[in-house]
Amino acid sequence: MCQLNEYLQHLQKASKDYRAITGTNGVPSSSLVELTQEHMRKIDALRVKIRLEEKKVEREMERQQVAIADRKMAELVRLVASSEEWGEVRQAEGLVQVALKGVMAGLEKVMKAADYVRLRTLKGVWMF
């Protein structure tokens, strides 16, 4: 989970860097004053595309967070806690590993999607 937090912080930094380059709230930064109208139009189009893709990633991350905290996971936590009392830890550990494998696959999917958005952003900026 620590790696995920670091990754999300890195993604937020990249997003902030992009916004600093392209300006915020539609107001261009000083580095964009000399760009042509065509460049500004392309930057605005890129901004819209990237924002939509960022929202998709955010929704998927929210979905993953809900899945982590759903009823089945809560029941699994209770099962593990009660199995520790009765010495049946091995069976519970197997169930935990299966559950975590699914959660990690979902989080990996979110991280790949975030990487894709960041890559598309960089490619879009470099095209100007």
Q: Which token pair is 50?
A: 């990237």
3-state secondary structure of 96: helix
As a whole number of angstroms, the distance between CA 6 and CA 14 comes to: 12
Given pLDDT bands bounded at 50, 70 and 90, which one contains residue 67? confident
Say how far apart CA 86 and CA 82 lie, in whole Å: 7
Looking at residue 29, the DSSP 8-state letter turns out to be: P
Angstrom distances, CA of residue 122 to CA of 22, 99, 104, 112, 126: 12, 35, 27, 15, 6
Q: Is the pTM of this model over 0.85?
A: no
Which structure tokens are listed for 75? 């029941």
Domain boundaries, the chain: 2-11+36-126
Fill in the DSSP letter of residue 32: G
Q: 30 pairs with which residues across the strands?
A: none
pLDDT digits (tens, 9 = 90+) for 20-59: 665 555 555 555 556 788 888 888 899 999 999 999 999 9
